[in-house]
Amino acid sequence: MPLIDTANAFIELFAQPVRATNSGSLAGLTFAAKDNIDVEGRITGNGNPIWRRAHGPAAAHAPVVARLLAEGAVLAGKTHMDEFAYSLMGTNAHYGTPLNSAAPDRVPGGSSSGSAAAVAAGLVEFALGTDTGGSVRLPASFNGIFGMRPSHGAIDMGGVVPLSPGFDTLGWFARDVETLVRVGRALGLAGEANFSTAWLPSDIWTGVDPGLAALLRPMAEKIAALFDKTVTDPLPIVGPEERSEAFRFWQGYDAWKALGGWIEAHDVDLGPDIAARFAVARSVSDETFAKVDAVRHEIATAMDAALAGGLGMIIPTGPGPAPRRDSSQEIFDAYRQQAIGLLSIAGHASLPQISMPAGKMDGGPVGLSVIGRRGCDGGLLDLLKRL
């Protein structure tokens, strides 16, 4: 029976799904790929119609797609995304907003909006996304599914259109732990668990909405009880506003280097929010970048030291449920600023993070995350299985 896209998740749903073999660790599982990831013979649209028209079909699969196909997974199609992957809400001025099946009146989150929507709607077993500032973790939280952001560099980014190479990672979504872990194993994620101490940073848990903290804390404490001990020391790094600003300018500088020349040369029609973001990116000076790069280095160094002793950090994935679809741009921007304060902890320090569904608040799903030290991706998946 042909797949029917009930969630506006796909920009291209293949009439004949792509299959390489009938055997392998992922045999029979269907998946989707975000539209900034190359699929042989298909155009990589990157969330923008002018980009799509300016590029021909990809000459080869991105290595991550080739590997999943070689493990027996079946590719159903390519999914919608925010323009150039430069947003967190999941709206697109050209292609619309995919459906958040768990909360239809709320946005699905981005930039991997279609991939999250496809998994949440049960259209595929798992889906690939990219995560630069939270573009897998936050949609996972918004849609009530699992999502993993691996350590920076853990998965080959070949054949993926960059946004900010210094932050970009390849991640994926699934509705259950078993599938999330199977995909990670198929992608070769390594690293041992060796988690002995649960870390619930006091500044994070007192800094989020009290209702969110009250909802998530029982689950967090239940997870913490599986460790040998629990600590609540505050984060040894700058606060959420400073983390967010450092991320915004670092990412912007990097994004303009990656895409600015092409955007200027093609006079690209951008949605208002994306246009404003690239305008800021264009204006980031070398001096500003040097300052925020120093902040990022300090964060990474401090987090590496803090997590070296077998700690697993447990924090809310985002500041609350997804904003409503009819929210103003001001509300979206304010939410994004808050969210980056949480999401950039792993981003600045190149850490692996898994978001898991943890209940609903005001009718919208919210997620709880576990973060491990850099390079312990396989161990983090082992920990998830225990949880």
**β-strand pairing of 74-79 with 10-18:** antiparallel
User: Which residues are tagged catalytic?
Assistant: 34, 111, 135
Cα–Cα distance between 372 and 259 in angstroms, integer? 31
Cα–Cα distance between 327 and 333 in angstroms, integer? 10
Cα–Cα distance between 97 and 80 in angstroms, integer? 8
* Helices 286-307 and 240-255, packing angle to 10 deg: 120
By the 10 Å C-beta count (0-12 exposed, 13-18 middle, 19+ buried), 245 is classed as middle
By the 10 Å C-beta count (0-12 exposed, 13-18 middle, 19+ buried), 31 is classed as buried
Contact indicator for 61, 38 with CB cutoff of 8 Å: yes
Mapped onto helix, strand or coil, the DSSP state of residue 335 is: helix
